[in-house]
Amino acid sequence: MQYTVTENRALTAQVFRLTLMGDTRTFTHPGQFAQVQVPGFYLRRPLSVYDWQPAEAGSMTLVYKVLGEGTRALAGIPKGAVLDVLPGLGNGFQPELAQAAKAKAPLLIGGGIGTPPLYGLCKALLRDGQTPAVVLGFGTAEEVILQDDFAALGVPVYVTTLDGSAGRKGFVTDAAETLAGSFDYVYTCGPEPMLKAVYGLCQRHDVDGQFSFEERMACGFGACMGCSCHTKYGSKRICKDGPVLLKEEIIW
């Protein structure tokens, strides 16, 4: 499907915000992702949806970090260009499952470029009448993104950096520990070592949650099995059955 670039601007030296106009009706849950075809690259690049307006002539915003050749080329795409994108992929976060489990006090934990999908989730939770707390972790102050976006939603935001140059010094789990007792459900996205530490936090405090994984992908829609992982309920494709897994199904 074709989308027109209406914004592609730098938020930090390495992180960009990309807004695309087109049909966004296939997005149903925050934490879903789009497969973006960067001109000149065979494999599409999966990027989580940060926010979207669902409509035939709708819009989606993605926030991405320049890591390799594909994202570097994407950063050079000008406003007005047309990109081929597969939107609405994956299961996304499912707040309805937390509500079914009677959880009422969500904590969102994002690490680095795992932070963007939590923004759409935060908006969805607020619409459902829940006010989450948000913990965001980065390496240094220069890498901090989206803190103001979350704060503008009126939720408490706690920032950590590894070197202490912004917010509290340490890991997201250090900040989350100080909030223990005030949350009964965790939603998280970030690098796998962080997800594992958050899993440990959930175990220590007997709290359930949803974890978004960033497996390397090829097709992105369930056809190639390239992103399979083992869960307690058998093999799952991160692109189709994920990227969000429930805590109870994760094997660590």
Ligand X SMILES: Cc1cc2nc3c(=O)[nH]c(=O)nc-3n(C[C@H](O)[C@H](O)[C@H](O)COP(=O)(O)OP(=O)(O)OC[C@H]3O[C@@H](n4cnc5c(N)ncnc54)[C@H](O)[C@@H]3O)c2cc1C
Binding mask 35-54 for ligand X (x = CB under 6 A): ----------xxxx------
Q: Does residue 235 bind ligand FES (CB under 6 A)?
A: no
Structure-block tokens of residue 219: 């097709």
Residue among 104 and 230 whose Cβ is closer to ligand FES:
230
Residue of 28, 69, 223, 235 that binds ligand FES (CB under 6 A) = 223
Structure-block tokens of residue 30: 């925050």
In contact, 208 and 103? CB cutoff 8 Å? yes
Residue among 93 and 183 whose Cβ is closer to ligand X:
93
Give the strand pairing for 45-53 and 33-37: antiparallel
Minimum distance of ligand X from residue 166's CB (angstroms): 20
CA dist., res. 8 & res. 175, Å (int): 32
The residue behind tokens 């992929």 is: 89
Q: Please work out, in degrees rounded to the nearest 5, the angle formed at the alpha carbon of residue 75 by the alpha carbons of 59 and 194.
A: 85
Minimum distance of ligand X from residue 117's CB (angstroms): 6
Residue of 3, 33, 150, 183 that binds ligand X (CB under 6 A) = 33
Give the strand pairing for 2-10 and 58-65: unpaired
Binding mask 199-218 for ligand FES (x = CB under 6 A): ------------------xx
Span 66-85, contacts to ligand X by CB under 6 A: 67-71
Structure-block tokens of residue 119: 């923004």
Minimum distance of ligand X from residue 184's CB (angstroms): 26
Binding mask 147-186 for ligand X (x = CB under 6 A): ----------------------------------------
Span 103-132, contacts to ligand X by CB under 6 A: 113, 116
How many residues are there in the chain? 252
Number of residues lying near ligand FES (CB under 6 A): 12
Residue 203 CA, chain-centre distance (Å), reads 22
The residue behind tokens 């007005």 is: 80
Residue among 47 and 125 whose Cβ is closer to ligand X:
47
Residue among 172 and 217 whose Cβ is closer to ligand FES:
217
In contact, 172 and 135? CB cutoff 8 Å? yes
Rg (CA), the chain: 17
Amino acid at 212: S
Chain contacts with ligand FES (rule: CB under 6 A): 217-220, 222-227, 237, 239
